[in-house]
Amino acid sequence: MVGANEKSGLRLWRNARLATMADGAAGFGVVEKGAIAARDGLIVYAGAEADMPASVGQRAETVDCEGRWITPGLIDCHTHLVHAGNRANEFEMRLAGATYEEVARAGGGIVSSVKSLRAASEDELVAQTLPRLDALMAEGVTTVEIKSGYGLDLDNEKKSLRAARRLGNERPVTVRTTCLAAHALPPEAKGDKDAFIDLVAKTILPGVAAGGLADAVDGFCEGIAFSPEQMSRVFDEARALGLPVKLHADQLSNLHGAELAARYGALSADHLEYTDEAGAMALAKAGTVATILPGAYYFIRETKKPPIGLFRQHGVRMAVATDNNPGTSPLTSLLLTMNMAATLFGMTVVECLAGVTREAARALGLQAETGTLEAGKSADLAIWDIERPAELVYRMGFNPLHARIWRGQ
């Protein structure tokens, strides 16, 4: 560092190649010989070093990036990061030939994660989740969304969301929380889905909202979970509470979850393996982001791919996320997730990188705050030891991160 000037509060990263990911720019929005200046955690300049106001260079504490690439800090916009224990035992059972039903009868499935989470204290949840959060951050993640959904009663959903919020205080990272109380039926509901949806809408969501614990509301719309009609009741309550919605939609079958999400102006509809053209058109019209989750597709050996071609054709924005969860996607690498989105689904490198930056921000309603390298946005940066952006998607199990900057630090 040279020319440090404590008083100006300006920080400058110079001699860098920028992938700004700015909306409307061609490709990555590349700036060769670029520089980024930040003050008070916000980007005040991002562009060609030659065009930078001279005063910035003279007064800033300066980092020479030696030609490295800078991208926006990565954003994992769909995770179930807060959970207790793991389900490696079920994985072994399935490898030995057990069916999902047999696993469930042996006490497995989401319900086993519910039992573990209810037994864990808030401190234990934080302690168990930190290594997963650290793994994401080690690859340049500066914003992460964390869902509840293993508590399934008011106290345990609140405990999960409080743990998620605390993680954002324990580490230099932005945490957005989502209440996914309509995830599965807890054992005490004794098979009565409608009664449980009443509990979610009348007790859990208002309680969570009163504590200011959730930034959004999500649900699992599927034959093995909740119907579109049941999800509508949850979304009506979310709307009454002023909370934006998201939806696990069309993952295992086409219940027209994409249309449902679009009808409620959802921030995102996620998974979407079974979505059809009407669903894609509805998402495009509503401006709802399609969040692509290749980790779950891979781990459960799904064969139906999300209709990326239809999303492109109709101009649906696509985000890419880990879906980190103990049952269907024990994945804590957003870099590997991009490789899967490209290799399994044919997404381009530009789509993958936009999917973990600009479009992931949009899927969280944070597009004005982060996700691109532009003046006015948070100075959330990832600095990489790479020769071209494609290396971030191409490699498997290699981390070329040089430095991670969150809010200018």
Binding site for ligand DI6 (CB under 6 A): 110, 113, 183, 220, 248, 251, 296, 325-328
CA-to-CA distance for 235 and 251, rounded, in angstroms? 19
The partner in contact with residue 226, picked from Fe ion, ligand DI6, none with C-beta cut-offs of 5 to 8 angstroms by kind, is: none
Q: Which stretch binds Fe ion (CB under 5 A): 16-24, 194-202, 203-211, 320-328?
A: 320-328
Closer to ligand DI6 by CB, 110 or 125: give it: 110
To the nearest whole angstrom, how small is the minimum distance from the Cβ of residue 219 to ligand DI6? 8
To the nearest whole angstrom, how small is the minimum distance from the Cβ of residue 112 to ligand DI6? 9
Strand pairing partners for 289?
Answer: 268
To the nearest whole angstrom, how small is the minimum distance from the Cβ of residue 21 to ligand DI6? 28
CB burial string 117-152: b at 16+ within 10 A, e below: bbebeeeebbebbeebbebbbebbbbbbbbbbbbbb
To the nearest whole angstrom, how small is the minimum distance from the Cβ of residue 28 to ligand DI6? 31
Question: Do the beta carbons of residue 260 and residue 246 sit within 8 Å?
Answer: no
Alpha helices in 287-333 (DSSP H): 294-299, 308-314
Residue found under tokens 């008083």 = 7
Closer to ligand DI6 by CB, 296 or 353: give it: 296
Q: Which residue is nearest to ligand DI6 (CB)?
A: 327
| CA nearest neighbour of 143 among 369, 400, 396, 399 | 369
Closer to ligand DI6 by CB, 49 or 90: give it: 90
Instruction: Report the DSSP pairing between strands 174-182 and 141-147.
Output: parallel
The partner in contact with residue 324, picked from Fe ion, ligand DI6, none with C-beta cut-offs of 5 to 8 angstroms by kind, is: none
Number of shown-chain residues binding Fe ion (CB under 5 A): 1
Q: Which residue is nearest to Fe ion (CB)?
A: 323
Closer to ligand DI6 by CB, 327 or 355: give it: 327
Q: How many CA atoms, within 13 angstroms, populate the side-chain half-sphere of residue 163?
A: 32
Closer to ligand DI6 by CB, 12 or 321: give it: 321
Closer to ligand DI6 by CB, 173 or 296: give it: 296
Contacts of 153 (CB under 8 A, 6+ apart): 186, 188, 199, 204
What are the tokens at 199?
């509990």
Burial class (CB in 10 A: 0-12, 13-18, 19+), 53: exposed
**DSSP one-letter string for 153-221:** SHHHHHHHHHHHHHHHHHSSSEEEEEEEEETS--GGGTT-HHHHHHHIIIIIHHHHHHTT--SEEEEEE
Closer to ligand DI6 by CB, 13 or 297: give it: 297
The partner in contact with residue 71, picked from Fe ion, ligand DI6, none with C-beta cut-offs of 5 to 8 angstroms by kind, is: none
To the nearest whole angstrom, how small is the minimum distance from the Cβ of residue 381 to ligand DI6? 31
Closer to ligand DI6 by CB, 275 or 357: give it: 275
The partner in contact with residue 326, picked from ligand DI6, Fe ion, none with C-beta cut-offs of 5 to 8 angstroms by kind, is: ligand DI6
Burial class (CB in 10 A: 0-12, 13-18, 19+), 241: middle
> Is 218 a binder of Fe ion (CB under 5 A)?
no
To the nearest whole angstrom, how small is the minimum distance from the Cβ of residue 395 to Fe ion? 25
CA-to-CA distance for 250 and 297, rounded, in angstroms? 12
Which residue in the set 76, 323, 351, 374 belongs to the binding site for Fe ion (CB under 5 A)? 323
Q: Which residues bind Fe ion (CB under 5 A)?
A: 323
